[in-house]
Structure 1
């Protein structure tokens, strides 16, 4: 449900509205058009209120979609590096998401309808919804800790990137790199590939703040703050026999959890609409990150299933409007103006948002897909059909995918290099900054469709003075815009084949190509047949070796236990029953 403005109007405003509508009904089309500017001016408070709704919804989708970026299947994982290198971040880049199935197009509307009807009749039975509101407040307070912690932590990371970027561009176009080891800033030399350190830039701050005259102690403090915010901390939690976890996080992640706990306590003890909106915003943000339509076909089917559900529940039943207005819990965003109030259901953000996020990840996929290379390889095959072993060599093409570079955490670097509106990216920019500048055609198309659909929703709200099912306008606006863009660009086939179920995440494969270099089909290696024929034999050998190594491992563990007992020298052996610790990164040292 998009909004329920008319239900919240005062009696005097309702009378004035009805009078205006009756006057407009008796006017000709020309007279109505001439009176339109005055009508818009009289409702300027309403438009400002609805602009806040549109901006908030689009900001959540925009930021959440970028936070949901991960390694696309068209790119290879980062190469193995040293400890703390790119390889250790692979689990985060390939984070698990809950993928939707085609059957969810039927299951989701049914489940949503049952839940909505249950809440409606429960409110009618209780007569006073205060008891239900208190129960749901406790439930949402507990369930929102993770989503609010994620929202607050990412917001702090966002701000940290603006204060402490890794690179920034000066007014004369020179790109400066912040070096935490030497506690200085350098740029590439004009006449060589060397690095030139600027003695005037002693702080880790960008722009004119880089030459800020501070004492040595103050400069050292700023560098240590930067080090503490950007380096990883270690959180250990252990309960004997139950859990033993070690997490690598950053300070902002820890502070985000603390802020989430405080916000939940305040929300439960107060009637703050602002905190309720923050909690609802966090739910929407986490939903866009964790949910995936899996494919464009599944996403389209699910959205249109909920499209019909939203129309029926708003126009033909009292369930949606009653539940949204009676429950004071974070299932909606409420915006209050001087005389009016309006609301936006979280489903109108999350459901189109996960489809928009899919579009951004598809843009990411196509960016690496276009960089793949077809490398010629020699394939040898053997033929025994004639009774003699005949070997032949055939040249095929192997698809080699580019290595992945994570674009996450580049907001600050982007701002200090490109500005608010964006500009020309420096050739000396970091690989991560270049990776974040991939084309976002489908994403911007979906966002534009969402904007037009929201404007249409609010226009219908103003005309009919009745709650409007936002998905009635949002689903066609977003879905049709994206499919139309694919049709115009000639990439419908790629859109239809794209999936996030892991099926496309394969190693470099051998393919057949036509005369124009286009991939026709994937070539199955004939050696696979021989491998399948020997599978049973290899499995038997593997089981035997595994049993042998298991016995050896048991003997080795017994020897280690004996050595540990001897090393203890009679001292009492201890183990943690309960442990919770937070370890900060070691202070940074200045490199020679």
Structure 2
């Protein structure tokens, strides 16, 4: 399926991503259970049933249109006007970035539980990711250095603002439907022209409700407000985190091995362009591109410096330092869910355990903390992935070893079941 970014972001909010019925969930449960049975492993997890043997939901794993989702987005929206008013001190940026990053990976990971289809990153694509990122980064650097008169800012600003607006809209749709159920009534179906989008040669149809329209208007409002003089930096950050949650919902690394290869490659990419590029090109390529005014948009988290006179008036955290680790964290949450998808003798088990996910989140906080300490001690920009990747990979591996599930972790495939009925 080929869609422009903005249309792809909007279309996910217009069509339901949660399970549409007990039969489909039962097929999914059976499919996942088969994957574990082939390895001689059985797990149990809490669930409810319709009385006919069809599993309707895994208790404790729901996210869309729940009070948990509403509370998460409520906290984010409250932070937009409140954070700029808080007093700032030396560690304000570190606390803010850590809190917002945790919110992003938590929400993005849980949104990924409900998706029916996703774009899978293959092992080869994981290997190629650092190379492609390097080409893109160096290409932008060359444009900035050798073609300073080229106006990139306008085009990039418009594109990122559109992406941010649709991402905000997509994130706010479900909370609006939960708060105001009537906004989900009277849906309107819109046929997208075949020249604009198609799904394997078939026309694409969007289902739009009043909640979708209100959320889109809110997203456009946030994007417009972020471009006004004196606008709070939190508007930019709101769009940025919504973009990452969309990425975590729409993209999956597929397996732990793919995630490990991709993250290790991105670690070397980050280290080279932050530490090594100045020795080769006479300039820190990563910092030059990241701090360029041409990239004025939701591609990074920003926080004003607490000091009046500093070389860089803002502290920044690139979205790649959230999105790349977030893909592994989201995979660990889906792995936890898969471990809970099997049932043994129809017993009533205990509540689900999100062991791998929880440990990954703790490891992510540890990695960010090490990054902040290294930045404070050295006084120079730090490649965050240098600290995040070892923490995350070691956390997953050590957790698997402690539970004697290492073979299961390395052989796990994040796959959706086929549409036809699966038989045990």
Q: TM-score range by the shorter chain?
A: 0.5 to 0.7
Does the Cα contact within 8 Å between 1:117 and 1:319 map onto a contact in 2? Answer: yes
Pairwise CA distance, 1:139: 1.8
Counterpart among 323, 331, 344 of residue 358 in structure 1: 331
**Paired residue for 1:142, among 144, 150, 162?**
162
CA distance in structure 2 between the partners assigned to 1:309 and 1:503 by the alignment: 35
Note if 1:98 corresponds to 2:119: yes
Which residue number corresponds to residue 448 of structure 1? 362
Distance 1:504 1:458 in 2: 45
Q: Return closer, same or farther for 1:269/1:449 CA change in 2, 3 Å cut-off.
A: same
Distance 2:168 2:90 in 1: 30
**Equivalent in the alignment of 2:288:** 322
Map Cα deviations across residues 78-136 of structure 1 (whole Å, 9 max, x no partner). Answer: xxxxxxxxxxxxxxx52x1111111123311111111111111111123368x322221
Task: State the shift of 1:504 in Å.
Answer: 9.0
Is the alpha carbon distance of 1:304 and 1:155 closer, same or farther for their aligned partners in structure 2, counting shifts above 3 Å?
Answer: farther
1:367 is aligned to 340
**Unpaired segments of 5 or more residues in structure 1?**
1-43, 71-92, 161-225, 374-399, 403-426, 428-433, 510-592
- Aligned counterpart for 1:63 among listed residues 95, 107, 127: 107
Q: What corresponds to 2:212 in structure 1?
A: 253
- CA gap of 1:458–1:156, structure 2 versus 1, over 3 A, is farther
Structure 1, residues 15-71: CA drift from partner, whole Å, max 9, x if none? xxxxxxxxxxxxxxxxxxxxxxxxxxxxx812122100100001100111111103x
Q: What whole-Å deviation, never above 9, does each CA across 1:308-328 have from its counterpart, x for those lacking one?
A: 110111011111000011132
Name the CA shift for 1:358/1:140 in 2 (closer, same or farther; >3 Å).
same
Give the match's secondary structure for 1:127.
Answer: coil
TM-score by structure 1 length?
0.49
Structure with bigger gyration radius: 1
**Which structure features the higher share of strand residues?**
1
Q: Please list every run of 5 or more consecutive structure 2 residues that lacks an aligned counterpart in the other structure.
A: 1-87, 197-202, 278-283, 308-312
Give, in whole Å, the separation in 1 of the partners of 2:195 and 2:321: 40
Q: Is contact 1:138-1:268 (8 Å) kept? A: no
* Secondary structure of the structure 2 residue equivalent to 1:456: helix
Q: Does 1:283 align with 2:197?
A: no
2: CA distance, partners of 1:350 / 1:57: 9
Any residues of structure 2 matched to 1:388-467 within 5 Å, and which? 438-467=352-381
Write the distance in 2 (CA, Å) between the matches of 1:45 and 1:461. 16
TM alignment of 1:286-301, pairs within 5 A: 286-301=246-261
Q: Give runs of aligned pairs for residues 143-292 of structure 1, distance below 5 A.
A: 143-156=163-176, 160=179, 226-229=180-183, 231-238=184-191, 247-248=206-207, 251-268=210-227, 270=229, 272=231, 273-292=233-252
Segment of structure 1 superposing worse, 286-295 or 339-348: 339-348
Taking the aligned partners of 1:495 and 1:104, their CA distance within structure 2 comes to: 20
> CA separation in 2, counterparts of 1:241 and 1:344?
39
Q: Distance in 2 between matches of 1:237 and 1:497?
A: 41
User: What SS does the aligned partner of 2:291 have?
Assistant: helix
Residues 363 and 301 of structure 1: CA distance in aligned 2, closer, same or farther (over 3 Å): same
- 3-state SS of 2:123 partner: coil
| Alignment correspondent of 1:121 | 142
Offset, 1:330: 2.0
Where do 1:82-97 residues align within 5 Å?
93-94=115-116, 96-97=117-118
- SS of the aligned residue for 2:217 comes to helix
Tell me if the contact between 1:105 and 1:306 (Cα under 8 Å) persists in the aligned partners.
Answer: no
| Counterpart pick for 1:331 among 289, 299, 304 | 299
Give a deviation string over 1:399-457, Cα, whole Å, max 9, x none: x9x9xxxxxxxxxxxxxxxxxxxxxxxx9xxxxxx99x521111000000001111011
Say if 1:239 and 1:227 are closer, same or farther in 2 by CA, change over 3 A.
closer
Residue 475 (str. 1) matches residue 389 (str. 2)? yes
Deviation at 1:276, TM superposition (A): 2.2
Distance 2:289 2:169 in 1: 27
**Quick check: 307-316 or 145-154, which moved more?**
145-154
Further displaced range: 144-153 or 455-464: 144-153
Q: Map Cα deviations across residues 272-324 of structure 1 (whole Å, 9 max, x no partner).
A: 43332222222111111111110011111111110111011101111100001
Would you say the 8 A contact 1:446–1:481 is kept in 2?
A: yes
Deviation for aligned residue 1:155 = 4.8
Task: Tell me if the contact between 2:165 and 2:222 (Cα under 8 Å) persists in the aligned partners.
Answer: no
Post-superposition Cα deviations, 1:240-268, rounded to whole Å, max 9, x if no partner, equal: 99898765455433321111122233345
Distance 2:94 2:389 in 1: 19
CA positional deviation for 1:149? 1.5
- In the TM superposition, what are the counterparts of 1:533-544 in structure 2 within 5 Å? none
1:333 touches 1:346 (CA, 8 Å); kept in 2? yes
Task: Please list the CA deviations of residues 225-244 of structure 1 after superposition, one character each: whole Å capped at 9, or x if unmatched.
Answer: x5414x54402335899898
Query: Is the CA contact 2:256–2:412 (under 8 Å) kept in the aligned structure 1?
Result: yes
Taking only aligned residues, the RMSD between alpha carbons, in angstroms, comes to 2.9
Q: 1:153·1:253 contact (CA, 8 Å) conserved in 2?
A: yes
Query: Residue 190 of structure 2 aligns to a residue in which SS?
Result: strand
Q: How many residues align?
A: 316
Deviation, 1:494, is: 1.7
